[in-house]
Structure 1
Amino acid sequence: MSTAATDGQPQRLLDPFGAVALIVGIVIGAGIFKTPALVASLTNDVGWTLMIWIAGALISVIGALCYAELCSAYPHAGGDYHFLHRAFGRHVSFLYGWARATVINPGAIALLAFVFGDYFSQVVPLGEYSSAIWALSIVLLLTLVNVIGIRASSKIQSSLVALVVLGLLAVVVAGFSVEAPVAETSLFFSSVPAASQFGLALVFVLLTFGGWNEAAYISAELRGGARSIVRVIVISMLLLTAIYLLVNMALLHGLGLQGLSQSTTAASDVLGLAWGPWAEKALGLFVAIAALTSINATMVVGARANYAVGLDWASLRQLGQWQGPSGSPTRAYVLQAGISVGLIVLGMSEADGFAAMVEFTAPMFWSFLLLVGLALLWLRHSDPLATRPFRVPLYPFTPLVFCAACGFLAYSSVMYAVSQNAIHVSFWLLGSGVMALLVLRWRESALNKVDNQAVGS
C-alpha cells in the first residue's frame, strides 16, 4: 500500500480516459433529449438554432479554459471550493460548500434519480411508487459503488457513457436517414429572434452543457498531473460539442424546424420515423442510462466538495477523512446519499415544492461560478509566482467573457425565480448557510479557548 493510501489522502488512481468519461457523463444527461425542441421553438429558425448551440459551446469552452488554468495551478479534491478558499477565504468558500452539500448536489442527484426511475419503470414497473423505488435503489447502489473506490466507479462510468454515446449516435443516424421536409429548407437566418427569446434559448443550451466545471474535483486524483487535466477538459469539451451539434442537425434534418419545435419527444419521434415503434421504446432505456451516468458522476464530484469542507473546519473533520484503501471520502458519500434520499422521499409527497427547491437554487450556483471566474483574475494578481503549467489564452479577455456569461445566467435565473415567486428558496438557503457559518465559528472559538487553557495549565 502506498504512503498516500495509508495517510488517507487523495491518490492518483484515475486515468485520463476515465476522467473524460466522468465529465461527459455529467454533462450528457436527459437535457439533450429535451433542449433541442425548446431552442427551436424559441428561435423559429434553423440558422439561429444552430448558432445558439455554437455560442453555448464557445462560452463553455472559454469557461473550461479558465478552469484548466485553476486546476493545473491548484489541483485539489475540493475543486471550486478550494479556488474560492484561496482567493476569498474560508467564509465565502464555506457558503458555497454549504449550498452545494445541502441542495445543489443532492438535489441534482435526486432529480436525475427520478428521471431514471420514470424511464426504467417503463421497462421494469414496480407498482404505484415504481419511480421512487427505482430512484432510491439507484442512489443507494451507486453510493456503495463509489464507496468501494474511484477505480470501480470509473470503470462503470466509462461503460455507461459508451452506451449513452451509442444511443445519441443512433439518433444522429436515424435523423439523417429520414427525408427532410422540403418546405423548410429555406429557413436559415430568415428572421432574427427577439433578444429575450435568444437569451432564454442560450440559458437552456448552457444548462445542457453544464457540468464541465466538475473536472476541478478530480484534478488531485488524475494520473499525469497538471497537463493531463488540461487535456481531459479540452477533449471532453470537443467531444461534447461535436455530439450536441450532430444531434441537433440530425433532429432538424429528420423532423424539420416546425416538427422539432412542436415535439415533446423529438429523439423518440425521429427514431420512430426511421425504424418503427420498437426504436422509440428503446430510447427510453438510453435516457435512463444517461440519467444514470449523470447520477454517478455527480456523486463523485459532490462527495469531494464535502470532503474539502471537512478539511477546513474542525467541527466537520469527519467529512475530511479519506479512506485510503478504497480511495474515496466515504463519510462524505454517506452524507450526500442521506440528503439525496431525504429529497427523494420529500419529492414523493410534495412534488411541486421539491422541484421549486431544487430548480431555484440556480441563482446561487451561477453566482458562485461567477466568483470562481473572479477568483482566477484575483489569483493572477495576488499569487503571481504560483506555477501555472497552463495559462488561459487572451488573458484577461477570456475570463472576463466567462464572468459576463455567468453574470447573465445568474441574472436570468433570479428573474425567472422572481416570476415564479420562488426566489425565497435561494434566500432561505443562503440564510441557513450564514447561520451554519456563525455556529461553526462559535464552536471553533470555544475549542480554541479550551486548547489555550489546557496549554496554559
Structure 2
Amino acid sequence: MSTYLRTALNPFIGGTKQEVEDDASDAASDAQLSVGAPIEGLNPLGYNIDYFTAYFTALHGVIGTGIFATPASVLKSMGSIGASYVLWIAGFIIAVLQIFIWIEFVTYFKRRSGGQVVYLEQAFPKPKFMVSSVYAAVTVILSFSTSSAIAFAQYILAAADHKATAWEQRGVGIAVLVFVSALGIVNSRLALKVSNFIGFVKVVFILFIAITGLVVLGGHTRVKNPTQIFQNSWEGTVTSDGNAIASAILKVSFSYGGTQYLFNVAGESNPKQTKNIFKYFLPAIMLSIFAMYLLIITAFYAGINDIQQIKKAGPLISSLFFTKVFGTKAATKALDVFVALSALGHLLAVVVGQSRALRECGRQGVLPYSSYWVTTKPWGTPILPIVAIFIVNFIVLVAPPAGDAYNFVVDIGSFSGYIFNLLLVIGLLLVRRQRKAAGLGFEGFKTPLSIIIIIILYGVFVIAMSFVPPPGKSLNGSDVSFFYATYAFTSIGILLLCFFYYYIWAFVLPRLGKYAHRNLHYTLENGERGHTVVKVPVEELEEWDSKHDSNGKEVSDDNSSILVENIVVSGLGKKD
C-alpha cells in the first residue's frame, strides 16, 4: 500500500470548523467499502455536536419517558420488588455492552452520520442493496417516537387537571409532533439548543426526585413506614410466565435505549473530539443515568409504599408518587409538567437523530427520489426525512387501540430493535474481516469477543421468550388487552413485507424489464453527496461498467477513484 494511501486511511483529525473545512479539502480521511454512500467532505448539516450537546443528546435519547412510565409495568410483569431491581441492573449492564459494539463502529466511520443504517450498509454489501433497502423501508415504517408523544399528552393534560379522553390525548400528541417537526425543519441548531435547555431542567428535576426519595426513606415525609415495601422483596416473583418477563425486558431495554440518537449525529461532531465523546464520555454518561434510575425507582417504591398500587399505576406512576409524598395538587402538577418536558426533549432527540438515519437511507439510493431525502435546502436541515417521521408517528399514534397504544408501541419498537442489533453484532465481525483483508487494523478500540457472544445470546433469548405464551387460559399479554405476541408478529410481518418489497424490486422487476440496477454518484448544490439507483438496460451493462467505478463515479483520466482490494477512499486528497 502506498505512503499516500496509508496516510489517507488514517483517522480524520481536526479542531475548529475551519480546520475541518481545510482537512476536508486537502486529505481523504476514511476507508469504507465502495458500495457505501459517499463520504461528504464537509458535512452540509454542520458541526454542532460538542461535549455539552453530546451529553444532553444522549440524556434525552435515554431518559425520555421510560423511567417515569415503565417501572409500574416492569414490576407488574416481574411480580416482586427484588426481581424488578435485578432486571434494571441487568438491563444497564447489557446496554453498556451493546454500546461497545457501536463505539467500535464509530471509530471506523467517524465522518458518517446515521448510525446503524451506515454500519449495516458496510457490514452486509451482498446481496447488493438488500440490507440498505430493507433497513430503509423498516426505518421509514418504524420511525417511532409515538410513546413520548403519548406520554407528553397524558402528563400535560394531567397537569391541566383535565380528564381527557383517549382521542383528546392523541390530539395533544399530534400537536407536539407538529411543533417538534417544524422546529427540526426550520433550524436544527435551534432544536439542539432547546434540547440542551430542557436537558438541564431534566437533570435538576431528577436530582430533586432522587433527594426526595432519600428524604422519604429517612422518615421525614407524610409517608408512613417507607421501608415496609422492601420487606419480603422477593415475594410474588414471576418465574413461569416467560412472555411477561420478555415484555418487562423489552421495557427496561426501551428505558436504557436511545444512545443511538447520538451515534446518528456522529458525523456532525467535532472530528477532534469524536473519539473521546464516544469512547470515554458516553460510558460515563450511561453510568450517571444508571445511578439516576436506581434513585428514581427507589423513590417511587418508597413514596408509594404499596406494591399493588404501583402495579395498577401504569404510565402515571410518577404522578402517583408525588401525590403520595406531597399530597398537594401543586406538587403533582409540577411533576406532570416536568415529565411532559422530558418527553418533549426526547422527541427533539428523536427527530434530529432519526432524520439523519433516514437521510443516510436516501444517500444510499434505495429510497425513491433519493436526492429529495438528501438535500438540506433551504435551511440546512433534512426536510423530507423529518416529514416522513411525522407521518409515520401520526399513523402509529391514531392506529392502535387507545388504551394499549403506549405499551404496544414500546414493545414493537424494542422487539424490532433487538433483531437489528443482532444483525449489527454479526456485522461487526464481518467488518473486521473486511478490514483485515484490506490490510486495515483497528482505530483505537476493539470490543472483546466475550461481549459479542453475550450480546448475541441475550438477543436470541429475548426474541425467543417473546413467543412463550402466558400461563392460564387467556392469551392476552400481561399489559395489553389483545394477543400476547401481537407486537412480535407485527414486527416480523413488517420485516417480511420489506424483504418481499426488496425481492420484487431487485429481482422480479429487473428480470421482467430486462435491466440491472447500478449506483450513480451525484453531488448537489450545497455539497451533499449521495447515490441514486438507476436502471441500466442489459445490453448496455458492459459499456456502463467500463465507464463507472463500483461507487457510481465516472472513470476518466481526471476523475478516478482509488481502489484497493474493494476499498475506496472517499475524499478530495491529491495523489503522490
- TM-score of Structure 1 vs Structure 2, range by shorter chain: 0.7 to 0.9
Tell me, in whole angstroms, the C-alpha distance in 1 between the residues paired with 2:381 and 2:396.
Answer: 24
Residue 169 of structure 2 is matched in structure 1 by: 131
| Cα pair distance change 1:49/1:26, threshold 3 Å | same
In the alignment, which of 118, 126, 148 is matched to residue 112 of structure 1? 148
* Separation (CA, whole Å) in 2 of partners of 1:121 and 1:190: 36
Name the residue aligned to 2:320.
Answer: 269
Unaligned runs of 5+ in 2: 1-16, 25-39, 220-224, 470-476, 478-482, 511-515, 518-533, 545-576
Contact 1:33/1:267, CA 8 A, preserved across alignment: yes
What residue in structure 1 maps to residue 252 of structure 2?
205
Tell me which structure has the larger Cα radius of gyration. Answer: 2
Contact 1:227–1:389 under 8 Å retained in 2: no
Please say which of residues 198-207 and 167-176 is displaced more in the overlay: 198-207
1:449 maps onto 2:537 in alignment = yes
The equivalent of 1:52 in structure 2 is 87
Where does residue 423 of structure 2 map in the other structure?
A: 371
1:91 counterpart residue number: 130
Q: Which moved more, 1:423-432 or 1:351-360?
A: 351-360
Q: Distance in 2 between matches of 1:140 and 1:289?
A: 15
The residue that corresponds to 2:572 in the other structure is none
Aligned AA for 1:20? Answer: Y
1:13-412 equivalences under 5 Å are 13-43=48-78, 45-75=80-110, 76-89=112-125, 90-102=129-141, 104-105=142-143, 108-123=144-159, 129-178=167-216, 179=219, 180-187=225-232, 194=239, 196=242, 200-223=247-270, 224-256=273-305, 258=307, 261-262=310-311, 264=313, 265-277=316-328, 278-313=330-365, 315-323=368-376, 326-346=379-399, 351=402, 359-360=411-412, 362-384=414-436, 385-386=439-440, 388-393=442-447, 395-412=448-465
Give the match's secondary structure for 1:131: helix
Q: Quote the residue 1:433 is aligned against.
A: 498
Higher mean alpha-carbon deviation, 36-45 vs 129-138, is at 36-45
C-alpha deviation, 1:392, in angstroms? 3.9
CA distance in 2, matches of 1:358, 1:32: 13
**Greater per-residue helix proportion:** 1
8 Å CA contact 2:117, 2:135 repeated in 1: yes
Worse-matched range after superposition: 206-215 or 410-419 = 410-419
RMSD: 3.4
In 1: Cα distance, 2:382 partner to 2:465 partner: 35
**CA 1:429 to 1:201, structure 2 compared with 1: closer, same or farther past 3 Å?**
closer
Normalising by structure 2, we get a TM-score of 0.69
**Retained in 1: the 8 A contact 2:159–2:334?**
no
1:138-164 C-alpha deviation (Å, 9 max, x unpaired): 212211211234321211111112222
Report the alpha carbon displacement of residue 297 of structure 1 after superposing the two structures with TM: 1.0
State the one-letter code of the partner of 2:456.
Answer: C
- Tell me by how many angstroms 1:47 deviates: 4.1
Shift of residue 295, structure 1, vs aligned partner: 1.3
Percent of matched pairs sharing the same residue: 19
Once the 2 structures are TM-superposed, how far is the Cα of residue 186 of structure 1 from its aligned partner? 4.1
Which secondary structure state, in structure 2, belongs to the residue aligned with residue 360 of structure 1? helix
Kindly indicate whether the alpha-carbon contact (under 8 Å) linking 2:251 and 2:411 is maintained by their aligned counterparts in 1.
no
- Which one-letter code corresponds to 2:84 in the other structure? T
Any conservation in 1 of the 2:54–2:277 contact (CA below 8 Å)? Answer: no
**Secondary structure of 1:313's match?**
coil
Distance 1:219 1:252 in 2: 38
Greater shift in the superposed pair: 227-236 or 255-264: 255-264
- Superposition deviation, residue 372 in structure 1: 0.7
SS in 2 for 1:448: strand
Q: In the superposition, relative to structure 1, how do residues 144 and 405 fare at CA in structure 2: closer, same or farther (>3 Å)?
A: same
Asked if structure 2 preserves the Cα contact closer than 8 Å seen for 1:176 and 1:254, the reply is no
Question: What SS is found at the alignment partner of 1:447?
Answer: strand
- The aligned amino acid for 1:148 is V
Q: 1:316 to 1:401 in 2, by over 3 A?
A: farther
**Retained in 2: the 8 A contact 1:8–1:323?**
no
- Check 1:135–1:37 CA distance in 2 against 1; reply closer, same or farther (3 A cut): closer
**How far 1:80 sits from its partner (Å)?**
0.5
Q: Across the two proteins, how many residue pairs are aligned to each other?
A: 450
Deviations 1:364-418 (A, max 9, x none): 321111111111222222323445334245x100121122222222223344787
TM, length-normalised to structure 1: 0.85
